[in-house]
Amino acid sequence: MVTAVEAAQASPAAAPGQAAVKLAVKDLTIRYGSTVALGNVSLEIREHEIFGIIGPANAGKTSFLKSLNRMDMFNTDMHVEGETLFNGRDIRHLKNVYALRSRIGVVFPLPVGLPMTVYDNVALAPRLSGLKNKADLDIIVERCLTRAALWDEVKDRLNSLGSLLSGGQQQRLTIARALSQDPEVLMLDEFSIAVDPVTTMRIEDVLKELKHEMTIILVTNLVQQARRLASRTAFFLNGECVEIGNTEELFTGEVTDTRTRDYVEGRFG
């Protein structure tokens, strides 16, 4: 039973004509020891959008993602200040942090195939939340592997070790795993580094479909990829969120910061 209060908290009232806010950060600052990786970032990510984040290396993009699913918990050096709201709820003070992470799927640039069968790789998240029925698991495994553009290649060898697949296959396996969580938010951190261009295109098509079911945050160093997929994009540079806006405006508009324009036009990278 969900009370009116809880329902309201679940999706904060949206402004008319605008989708609800899924994730919001306010004055977010991330430090490693005394080094500031990200300073005073405030932004909102809306439901059912693909939110792009672009910027050069060491801009703080990956740290940002890590703070969103509370993976900073495992790094004693990492300190996060500021407010982070997920569905309107403050995630820096949770009773069960693991439950948060089961709602957020993430794909990192380095492919990781777990040392178990391909089937078990994708069935892991459902099993962790208590799903045991083999028929149900079969359906989930096939659906996620298909969406990750991997089903055709592994459907006859679901029992082979996930950790012994090729790099590109392991990356798609990672995506399949993230999808198997049935997440509310899917975060992808430069996923296409380990994947060939054709497969990248297939996955981009899948992402466009998926956004109707979930919210997607796409960190990418392929500026054109952000342009293809993201409705709004943020530009991170040297630990600062330089600007956020509609993707098209960011790329073509005159009302953009010179740094953004320089990066987008390839003057540095």
Partner 1 sequence: MPGSPPTVKGMTADFDRRNADWFIDKAVQVLVFIGGISAIIFIIAIFVFITKEALGFILDRFDFTEFFTSPYWYPADEDDPEYGILALIAGTASVTGLAMLVAIPFSLGAAIFIAEFATGKTREILKVLIELLAAIPSVVWGFIGLSIMNPLIIELFDVPVGLNVLNAGIILGLMAAPIMTSIAEDALKAVPDRYREAAEAMGATRWQMIFKTVLPAAKNGLLGAILLGVGRGFGETMAVLMATGHSVNIPHSVFDSVRALTATIAAELGETAVGSDHYQVLFTIGVFLFLITFVINLTADLIVRGVRKG
Partner 2 sequence: MFEASELNVKNQRVQKLYRLLFLLMTLLLIIPVLLILATLVIKGGSVISIDFLFSSPTHGMTAGGIFPALLGTVWLVSVALLISVPLGIAAAIYLSEYAGDNWFTRIINLAIINLAGVPSIVHALFGVGAFVLFFGFGTSILAASLTLAIMTLPVVIVATRESLQAVPYAFREACWNMGATRWQAIRRVVLPNAISGILTGVILEVSRTSGETAPIMFTGAVFFTPFLPQGIFDQTMAMSLHLFVVSTQVPGVPEDLPYGVALVLIGMVLLMNSLSIAFRTYLRGKKKW
Q: Which residues bind partner 1 (CB under 8 A)?
A: 2, 6-7, 9-10, 87, 89, 94-96, 98-100, 102-103, 125-126, 128-129, 131, 136, 139-140, 143, 180-182, 184
- Contact at 8 Å (CB) between 70 and 96? no
DSSP string, 164-228: GS-HHHHHHHHHHHHHHT--SEEEEESGGGGS-HHHHHHHHHHHHHHTTTSEEEEE-S-HHHHHH
Site for partner 2 (CB under 8 A): how many residues?
30
Residue 147 within binding range of partner 2, rule CB under 8 A: no
Residue of the chain from 114, 193, 222, 242 that contacts partner 2 (CB under 8 A):
114
Q: Which does 81 bind (CB under 5 to 8 A by kind): partner 2, partner 1, none?
A: none
Identity of the residue, 129 or 246, whose beta carbon is nearer to partner 2 in the bound complex: 129
Q: Report the C-alpha gap between 243 and 54 in whole angstroms.
A: 10
125 binds partner 2 (CB under 8 A): yes
Told to check if 242 binds partner 2 by CB under 8 A, we report no
How many other C-beta atoms lie within 10 A of the C-beta of residue 102? 16
CB 253 within 8 A of CB 225: no
CB of 17 to partner 2, least distance (A): 34
The minimum distance between CB 267 and partner 2, in angstroms, equals 35
Report the distance separating Cα 154 and Cα 159, nearest Å.
9
How far, in Å, are 117, 135, 171, 178 from residue 123 at the CA level? 10, 12, 16, 11
Residue 106 binding: pick among partner 1, partner 2, none (C-beta 5-8 Å cut-off by kind):
partner 2
Interface residues with partner 2 (CB under 8 A)? 69, 71, 74, 76, 98-103, 105-106, 108, 110, 112-116, 124-125, 128-129, 161, 163-164, 174, 177-178, 181
